[in-house]
Amino acid sequence: MALLLLGLLGLLGLWGLLRTCARTPGPAPRWPPGPRPLPLIGNLHLLRVSQQDQSLRELAEQYGPVFTVHFGRQKMVVLTGYEAVREALVGTRQELAGRPPIAIFQLIQGGGGIFFSSGARWRAARQLTVRTLHGLGVGRAPVASKVLQELECLTAQLDGYAGRPFPLAVLGWAPSNITFALLFGQRFDYRDPVFVTLLGLVDEVMVLLGTPSLQLFNIYPWLGALLQLHRPVLRKIEEVRAILRTLLEARRPHTPGQGPAQSYLDALIQQGQGKDPEGLFAEANMVACALDMVMAGTETTSATLQWAALLMGKHPRVQGRVQEELDRVLGPGRPPRLEDQRSLPYTNAVLHEVQRFITLLPHVPRCTAADTQLRGYLLPKGTPVVPLLSSVLLDETQWETPRQFNPGHFLDADGRFVKRAAFLPFSAGRRVCVGESLARSELFLLFAGLLQRYRLLPPPGLCAATLDTTPAPAFTMRPPAQTLRAVPRLQGADCRRPGPTAGQAPGPGGSESLLA
């Protein structure tokens, strides 16, 4: 018996040796330079929690546009500046189309959804989303009409304040409702409990995702799980999921098996009912896709429109020039149309400069899907790569005054609008933002429509210079909570819906309702 065991062990050892000899050795990785990591913490001592992207830009000054940094024990490669980021996102084709496993999003989505998935799940979800948004009229007249209808609802709400201060967050209701209309096939009244609840939950989740405790969880998942750091955000996410499941069930009886989808949920239901041998659109992934669209579709455009209004209040001369152009091209009564962008170069430039200046989402990591050559370095498969978009939007080699709010960045000497290659707020390459066309349409029509109708001013007792533009801590670089005044520019404006009276809560998005 002993001899038999020895013989089996010998055969196993020989088999292992043969496999080792037969394996073709791959080339050794060549990592970019970077700061020396410390045990356990890596380079965390060099990264300020609240200003991580700024810390990474400072490291780039020492180590170059491509460098290695350690988040705890996780080794990452950081790309900074327009040249390095664009070469990686566009030049590597599919090599940087993946997402690394981020602990909190793995728990939330389980590898599903659109934004933090990879491989076949991501490709299927993205293709469905792009096809559905196009079919619903995004970037064309059907959705432009919905945006203008929502603009009327928003201006009715602002008219009710009669020039008194309103919470900046009110401006986020319109883009959020446009997203909901596309996702769920219906818009909501601003006082609808589902609308109020969803906006409140999105707000809380985005704040929680930006906390130091969640960053600690992502770096040290075992420690975060021990300390239960992920529990608060998971509870809020589950509340959002419950609403999405209810809305999905409500759409099923009205969703035909074939024919054009009337909403994003309809498209998900149709896909799940069709041939799906790999289970890419099982119930869990349908909810995951809807969750991604709700969270990203409301937060990004909503925050950008709020930033645009805040910056107009802070820069009254810029606001005045936009309004002069709107009056000249559109006149006092005609609402803006998508095709007006060419005739409104200064308005278009201001809106682009808002997006460049705020750097709403400084970075979202990618992942190498195979061994990848990048600027003379060889990164092994599975390497997390951070394209630092803020370093592109603030690149001194691309922008004349990167730290200043300057619409001239997008104008030539004759005042014509100029596209800039380094304008990458939606990222680039195969993982460019799936909602870019929708966001561009919404922002232009809502921004132009608001400035056509109102002068945006600081609240009484404050001057423009004192408006706070320090980003609030959250997953995105959202504007700080404060108030503005929307003073009608036209006499006898039609107030179609009464706003809050004295002592009445301003409704969803105001501090009273969202904190209740």
Long-range contacts of 24-30 (CB under 8 A, 24+ apart): 26/371, 26/380, 27/371, 27/378, 28/378, 29/378, 29/379, 29/380, 30/376, 30/377, 30/378
345-358 and 436-453 helices cross at what angle (nearest 10)?
120
- The one-letter code for the residue type at 460 is P
What average pLDDT does the segment 384-399 reach? 95
Q: Would you state the pLDDT for residue 209? A: 93
Residue 214 lies in a domain: yes
Residue 391 lies in a domain: no
What average pLDDT does the segment 253-259 reach? 76
To the nearest 10°, the Cα dihedral for 241, 242, 247, 249?
Answer: 110
Beta bridge partners of 75: 70
Q: Would you state the pLDDT for residue 43? A: 95
Q: Would you state the pLDDT for residue 13? A: 42
* Least trusted range by pLDDT, from 22-26, 207-211, 258-262: 22-26
Residue 4's pLDDT band, with cuts at 50, 70 and 90, is very low
Q: Provide Rg for the chain, Cα atoms.
A: 25
Beta-carbon contacts of 316 under 8 Å, excluding residues fewer than 6 positions away, are 457, 464
Q: Would you state the pLDDT for residue 292? A: 94
Judge residue 459's burial from the number of C-beta atoms within 10 Å of its C-beta, 0-12 exposed, 13-18 middle, 19 or more buried: middle
Instruction: Tell me how many domains the chain contains.
Output: 1
What average pLDDT does the segment 462-478 reach? 91
- Cα distance between residue 93 and residue 130, in whole Å: 19
Mean pLDDT of the chain: 87
Q: Would you state the pLDDT for residue 492? A: 36
- Cα distance between residue 438 and residue 428, in whole Å: 16
Q: Would you state the pLDDT for residue 25? A: 52
- Asked if pLDDT for residue 506 goes beyond 60, the answer is no
Phi then psi dihedrals of residue 397, to 5 deg:
-80, -10
Residue 92 lies in a domain: no
Residue 82 lies in a domain: no
Beta bridge partners of 386: 78
Residue 201 lies in a domain: yes
- Asked if pLDDT for residue 476 goes beyond 60, the answer is yes
Q: Would you state the pLDDT for residue 252? A: 87
Structure tokens, 203:
């707000």
* DSSP assignment string, 279-314: -TTSHHHHHHHHHHHHHHHHHHHHHHHHHHHHHHHH
- Asked if pLDDT for residue 97 goes beyond 50, the answer is yes
- Asked if pLDDT for residue 259 goes beyond 70, the answer is yes
pTM: 0.88
Residue 108 lies in a domain: yes
Q: Would you state the pLDDT for residue 431? A: 87
Residue 508 lies in a domain: yes
pLDDT in tens, 24-82: 455 788 999 999 999 999 999 999 877 888 999 999 999 999 999 999 999 999 999 99
Q: Would you state the pLDDT for residue 275? A: 73
Query: Do residues 499 and 157 touch, judged by C-beta distance below 8 A?
Result: yes
Q: Residue 152 half-sphere exposure, CB side, CA atoms within 13 Å?
A: 10
Judge residue 122's burial from the number of C-beta atoms within 10 Å of its C-beta, 0-12 exposed, 13-18 middle, 19 or more buried: buried
Tell me which residue of 407, 429, 392, 410 sits closest to 89, measured CA to CA: 429
How many other C-beta atoms lie within 10 A of the C-beta of residue 405?
17
Q: Would you state the pLDDT for residue 331? A: 87
Q: Would you state the pLDDT for residue 51? A: 83
CA dist 195 to 66, 192, 247, Å?
A: 44, 5, 12
Residue 495 lies in a domain: yes
Tell me which residue range forms the domain holding 123.
103-359+430-515
Beta-carbon contacts of 501 under 8 Å, excluding residues fewer than 6 positions away, are none
pLDDT in tens, 136-186: 999 888 899 999 999 999 999 999 999 999 999 999 999 999 999 999 999
CA dist 245 to 77, 183, 187, 250, Å?
A: 38, 13, 17, 9
pLDDT in tens, 274-298: 777 677 788 889 999 999 999 988 9
**Chain-centre distance for alpha carbon 428:** 13
Query: Do residues 412 and 418 touch, judged by C-beta distance below 8 A?
Result: yes
The helices-and-strands tally (H runs, E runs) of the chain is: 18, 9
CATH number of domain containing 120:
1.10.630.10
pLDDT in tens, 320-333: 999 999 999 998 78
Looking only at Cα atoms, what is the longest distance across the chain?
Answer: 103
Query: Do residues 280 and 121 touch, judged by C-beta distance below 8 A?
Result: yes
